[in-house]
Amino acid sequence: MAIYYDQNIQTFFLEGRNLSYVFGINETNFVEHYYFGARIGRDDLRYALACGGDYAESAVPGLTNSARNSYNNYGAELSTYGSSDYHECSLQIMFPNGSRLNEFLYDSHEILSEKPAITGMPSLSGGETLRLTLKDKNSEVKVNLYYTVYEDVSVICRHMEVTNATAEDLKLLRAYSFTLELPRNNYDVLTLEGAWARERYPERIPMHHGVVSVDSKAGASSGRLNPFMAVLDRNTDEYQGNAIGINLVYSSSYVLKAEVGSKGSSRVMGGINDFDFSWKLAAGETFETPEVVIAFSDNGINAMSQTFHDAYRRYLIQPSYVTAHRPIVINNWEATYFNFNNERLMGIIDVVKDSGIDTFVLDDGWFGARSNDKAGLGDWVVNTDKLHGGLKTIIDYCHNAGLKFGLWFEPEMVNPNSDLYRAHPDWAIHVPGIEPCLGRNQMVLDITREEVRDYIVEAVSKILREHAIDYVKWDFNRVLTENYSLGLPADRQQEFHHRYALGLYDLCERLVNGFPEIFFEGCAGGGGRFDPAMLHYFPQIWTSDDTDAYMRTQIQYGTSICYPLSTMSCHTSICPNHQTGRTTPFATRSDIAHLGATGYELDTKKMTGEEIAEVAGQVKAYHEMEDLVLNGDLYRIENPCESNYFAFVLVAKDKSEAHITAFRTLCRANDEVKRIYPKGLAPNAVYEIRELGIKLTGSTIMQVGLVLPNAPVDFKTFVFHLKKAD
Ligand code: GLA
């Protein structure tokens, strides 16, 4: 049993694969946190509680035990502000009289064998769930805290529901998804920072007294700071030490905070960003927060990553796609941008049709008056000036060539220069009377409004219904400004960003789930909305608009800290690279793209005959390793953000096979010998290393390493395929 309540000591034990999460109902009926970490026995942990308030602590009325008379000394499962807890809190409610005093005590609990869904938001499935109900000491407000644990992965999923059972309307000022207490004050935090075209770079800093936080205020999880934070022991590295990973299943403005308090402990919390947020909770209504996934490893950061990867592949990503062969696409964007017609597209299809590439994706520019990025967004009507005969001509051409057909949409957007905007200027987000910001010449549609969502669903569905489309790329090229809806009254305007997320999930439910036979890829100007909620709908996301192989080693390295390789869409593109101007070997570009859902974005007119011939071999090589990319365990061996090298090792779950991709950034004459030390192999098994033509035991390969040849080439990859010998 994963969840156990010991009535005698009023303690809950939540047990995942290698984690225990323990809390109890204390002498004041407060639900007090006792422990989170590696699996422990079901003991009475009250002996280890913090004790001793100081002169400056405020005593809670009615508490007589002078050593433990202040909430400031308790570890909390739900943290509130106003009655003696001075840390950051996870819930703040304002009552009609302006009071913000909330004090939640134990009410009841239930262990659920089926994990309840969160209304209107994606979340993980499966696992055993505890619903813990708390009640405000001073009002009829109730809170349900949900905790889900799994026997096969070391994660705990949490979220909160707040129910207003009073007779009056309340205002939520803050409603985070979780509070997590940690027993020490000397941790590091690891986050993933970035920007457009350089998303998710790892950044590690020490926590200090006070608060360290990451957030988004952009109405999207954003490429700037991923909704991820790991709390690490100071000595934790990739392969040793405690690592607690925190990832929000959420796509709009969020915050994650880590606070070191004055009593030697720390508190981590987060969820919907409460900056510019409030939510009117009418009498009788319930508010649900998004889910947070908390992963635990006592074997370093790499094992924490593997835990996220397994949890997402098993419980988050649509099962029908998670292990299914991924389309190997050729996308026309970098080849043509907006400048194409049937003949130009057919030329690309002709070149690749016998290469093994199996899907042609027609990117931006096929609709409305879209000859550049200044016009047409929102008008999902085929531009027959460019595409004579409509989409059908190019779709039929594709299908006759044995390729599937994919199409680009940006459903949430509108150009002011579009028929949609001319008909419904009020549908674009703006504040009346104030000139709005444009991003890439476009505005964002107010999808908090049902009639706007209905238009989008109908316009996109019409194209999907009327054409034989196999694949959709769903883009989102700018974040939100103005933060105002004509559909909301003044006292609800601060609900806007969360309502945007709810609108987005509704669109995904209706479009993605409405066309289950179509494969949907996510995109947001590259990786600007790469989060678990999007992965619930899109099994893969365009990782970055930066397709330079060297930059991709770093971007894919950082992304893998939280997200499985199968979720990263990666393309081999033409050189000099369009984002960096760099030229890298063709083989390198495909070797790096193969460490994800591989594909191509090539101007076939500029390819050499040799390159064209090479593609077939590259696709064949991908097919051989695809199972490891989709289902294997990842071991990060060399960090390209910190050294001249990059190396990933992918190992089959049953250890029968492995694939190693190493990369040297710059070559140096007469360089030092470089060895790669793979991990994760079966130590006693004998593996055949195809590229070296030798057989070695797993322990030898891991301990003696593989030597990288010293060739005078920059940006060179070295690939090794290992198979267990009979
Ligand atoms: C974004 C995407 C690109 C491409 C363009 C089209 O930048 O990330 O891959 O689809 O939009 O406008």
Grouping H, G, I as helix, E, B as strand and the rest as coil, residue 178 is strand
Atom of ligand 1 nearest to the CA of 373: 12
Q: CA dist 295 to 244, 247, 406, 656, Å?
A: 6, 8, 35, 27
Please check whether residue 128 is in contact with residue 116, taking contact to mean a CB–CB distance below 8 angstroms: no
What pLDDT band is residue 56 in, cutting at 50, 70 and 90? low
- Report whether residue 545 contacts ligand 1, using a CB cutoff of 6 Å: yes
- Confidence (pLDDT) at 51: 66
Mean pLDDT score, 395-421: 98
Number of H helices, E strands in the chain: 13, 38
Please state the φ and ψ torsions of residue 347, each to the nearest 5 degrees: -60, -40
Question: Which helix or strand (DSSP H or E) is residue 609 part of?
Answer: helix 609-631
Mean pLDDT score, 127-151: 97
Residue from 340, 364, 412, 520 to probe ligand 1 pocket by mutation (most atoms less than 8 Å from CB): 364
Structure tokens at 657: 């096979």
**Choice among 197-201, 232-236, 320-324 with the minimum mean pLDDT:** 320-324
> CB neighbours (10 Å) of residue 498?
25
Ordered DSSP codes for 84-152 = S--S--SEEEE-TTS-----EEEEEEEEESSPPPBTTB-----SEEEEEEEEETTSSEEEEEEEEE-SS
pLDDT one-digit tens code per residue, 81-95: 988 888 999 999 999
Structure tokens at 61: 């009325």
Which residue in 131, 98, 498 sits closest to 287, CA to CA?
498
pLDDT one-digit tens code per residue, 697-725: 999 999 999 999 988 999 999 999 999 99
Percent over 90 (pLDDT), the chain: 92
> Has residue 52 got a pLDDT over 80?
no
Residues 6+ apart with CB under 8 A from 376: 367, 368, 369, 370, 383, 415, 417, 418
Grouping H, G, I as helix, E, B as strand and the rest as coil, residue 408 is strand
In angstroms, the CA 192 to CA 203 distance is 6
Residue nearest to atom 2 of ligand 1 (CA): 525
Q: CA dist 690 to 199, 658, 721, Å?
A: 34, 11, 6
Structure tokens at 366: 């096929």
pLDDT one-digit tens code per residue, 430-484: 999 999 999 999 999 999 999 999 999 999 999 999 999 999 999 999 999 999 9
Residue 318 CA, chain-centre distance (Å), reads 14
For 50-82, letters b (16+ CB in 10 Å) and e give beebeeebebbeebeeeebbbbbbbbbbbbbbe
Residue 218 C-alpha to ligand 1 middle, in angstroms? 19
Residue 118 C-alpha to ligand 1 middle, in angstroms? 31
Residue type, 696: L
- Confidence (pLDDT) at 135: 98
> Has residue 67 got a pLDDT over 70?
no
Residue nearest to atom 6 of ligand 1 (CA): 364
Q: CA dist 223 to 160, 217, 248, 258, Å?
A: 26, 12, 14, 21
Q: What is the largest CA-CA distance in the chain?
A: 85
Which residue in 570, 501, 569, 515 sits closest to 539, CA to CA?
569
State whether the Cα torsion 340-346-349-350 is positive or negative: negative
Which residue in 617, 562, 622 sits closest to 598, CA to CA?
622
Grouping H, G, I as helix, E, B as strand and the rest as coil, residue 334 is helix
Mean pLDDT score, 654-661: 98
User: Does 215 qualify as catalytic in the annotation?
Assistant: no
- Confidence (pLDDT) at 156: 98
Please check whether residue 645 is in contact with residue 663, taking contact to mean a CB–CB distance below 8 angstroms: yes
Atom of ligand 1 nearest to the CA of 473: 10
Residue for token pair 């649900």: 288
Mean pLDDT score, 487-503: 98
In angstroms, the CA 447 to CA 453 distance is 5
- Confidence (pLDDT) at 71: 84
Indicate which residue of 188, 379, 545, 633 is catalytic: 545
In angstroms, the CA 53 to CA 69 distance is 7
Residues 6+ apart with CB under 8 A from 607: 351, 574
Residue 525 C-alpha to ligand 1 middle, in angstroms? 5
The rounded radius of gyration (Å) of the Cα atoms in the chain is 27
In angstroms, the CA 644 to CA 62 distance is 63
Indicate which residue of 85, 215, 475, 591 is catalytic: 475
- Report whether residue 523 contacts ligand 1, using a CB cutoff of 6 Å: yes
Residue from 337, 377, 523, 578 to probe ligand 1 pocket by mutation (most atoms less than 8 Å from CB): 523
Which residue in 42, 40, 22 sits closest to 32, CA to CA?
22
Please check whether residue 416 is in contact with residue 378, taking contact to mean a CB–CB distance below 8 angstroms: no
- Confidence (pLDDT) at 49: 85
Please state the φ and ψ torsions of residue 254, each to the nearest 5 degrees: -135, 170
Please check whether residue 644 is in contact with residue 673, taking contact to mean a CB–CB distance below 8 angstroms: no
- Report whether residue 363 contacts ligand 1, using a CB cutoff of 6 Å: yes
User: Does 446 qualify as catalytic in the annotation?
Assistant: no
In angstroms, the CA 521 to CA 507 distance is 14
Question: Which helix or strand (DSSP H or E) is residue 612 part of?
Answer: helix 609-631
Residues 6+ apart with CB under 8 A from 438: 416
Euclidean distance between the first and final Cα of the chain, in Å?
A: 39
Residue type, 316: L
As a three-state string, the secondary structure of 585-603 is: CHHHHHHHHCCCEEEEECC
State whether the Cα torsion 189-195-198-200 is positive or negative: positive
pLDDT one-digit tens code per residue, 24-47: 999 889 999 999 999 999 999 999
Residue nearest to atom 1 of ligand 1 (CA): 525
> Has residue 382 got a pLDDT over 90?
yes
Residue type, 633: D
Helix axes 390-400, 342-352, angle to 10 degrees: 10
In angstroms, the CA 54 to CA 218 distance is 41
**Torsional class of 471: left (φ above 0), alpha (ψ -120 to 50), beta (otherwise):** beta
Please check whether residue 482 is in contact with residue 430, taking contact to mean a CB–CB distance below 8 angstroms: yes
> Has residue 53 got a pLDDT over 80?
no
In angstroms, the CA 244 to CA 229 distance is 8
pLDDT one-digit tens code per residue, 242-284: 999 999 999 999 999 999 998 899 999 999 999 999 999 999 9
- Report whether residue 333 contacts ligand 1, using a CB cutoff of 6 Å: yes
Residue type, 150: Y
Mean pLDDT score, 679-695: 98
In angstroms, the CA 38 to CA 520 distance is 38
> Has residue 64 got a pLDDT over 70?
no
Residue for token pair 């010293």: 710
Domains of the chain: residue spans and CATH: 10-315 (2.70.98.60), 332-529 (3.20.20.70), 645-724 (2.60.40.1180)
In angstroms, the CA 25 to CA 106 distance is 7
Grouping H, G, I as helix, E, B as strand and the rest as coil, residue 352 is helix
> CB neighbours (10 Å) of residue 239?
15
Residue nearest to atom 12 of ligand 1 (CA): 364
Grouping H, G, I as helix, E, B as strand and the rest as coil, residue 502 is helix
> CB neighbours (10 Å) of residue 171?
18
Q: Which residue blocks in 300-435 are alpha helix, DSSP H? A: 301-315, 319-322, 333-336, 342-352, 390-400, 419-423
> Has residue 54 got a pLDDT over 90?
no
